[in-house]
């Protein structure tokens, strides 16, 4: 008999799409003002309940926080606070992420170097 509880991931661990989004954010935004930052999957918060499922509500579908990394490896405080109206599933289907406006993230399949002023060419 299968023990289905052993097959489930623990609730406190991020899923594969959140892990992929964290990697994509790290590649797209590795630093701020010359200081390195780290994107942790544990710092990505998907919307819950009606906020997640009702597309008529004008809210971000997820929000993420990056932290500065000090030279000694310690946390140097919050560097970025990004989010998106696109779902994590939608954004992880793209190859690259780019910044739209001040704190919104969108996806694209074009190289970031091809993009001008945050708008895909």
**Residue range 77-103, pLDDT digits in tens:** 899 999 998 889 999 999 999 998 888
Residue 19 located in a structural domain: yes
Q: Is 45 inside any structural domain?
A: yes
User: Is 4 inside any structural domain?
Assistant: no
Q: Give the position of tokens 């929000």.
A: 63
pLDDT for res 121: 42
Asked if residues 53 and 38 have their Cβ atoms less than 8 Å apart, the reply is: no
What is the CB neighbour count within 10 angstroms for residue 106?
A: 19
Q: What is the pLDDT of residue 7?
A: 54
**Helix, strand or coil for residue 112?**
helix
Domain span including residue 90: 12-114
* Residue 38 tokens, joined: 């780290």
3 occurs within a structural domain: no
Q: What sections of 15-119 are H helices per DSSP? A: 16-28, 50-53, 88-92
Tell me the C-alpha distance between 73 and 23, whole Å.
Answer: 19
Distance CA 33, CA 35 (A): 6
- Count up the domains in the chain and report the number: 1
Residue ranges of the alpha helices (H) in 8-118?
16-28, 50-53, 88-92
Q: Is residue 1 part of a domain?
A: no
Give a yes or no: residue 6 inside a domain: no
Q: Could you tell me if residue 52 is inside a domain? A: yes
The predicted structure's pLDDT at residue 83: 92
Residues in the chain predicted with pLDDT less than 70, given as ranges, are 1-11, 112-121
Q: In this structure, is residue 5 part of a structural domain? A: no
């Amino acid at each position: 008999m299968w023990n289905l509880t052993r097959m489930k991931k623990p609730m406190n661990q991020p899923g594969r799409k959140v892990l992929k989004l964290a990697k994509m954010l790290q590649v797209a935004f590795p630093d701020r003002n010359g200081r390195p930052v780290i994107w942790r999957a544990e710092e990505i918060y998907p919307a819950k309940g009606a906020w997640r499922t009702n597309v008529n509500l004008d809210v971000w579908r997820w929000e993420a926080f990056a932290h500065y990394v000090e030279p000694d490896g310690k946390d140097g405080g919050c560097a970025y606070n990004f989010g998106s109206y696109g779902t994590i599933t939608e954004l992880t289907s793209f190859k690259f992420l780019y910044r739209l406006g001040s704190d919104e993230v969108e996806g694209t399949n074009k190289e970031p170097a091809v993009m001008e002023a945050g708008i895909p060419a």
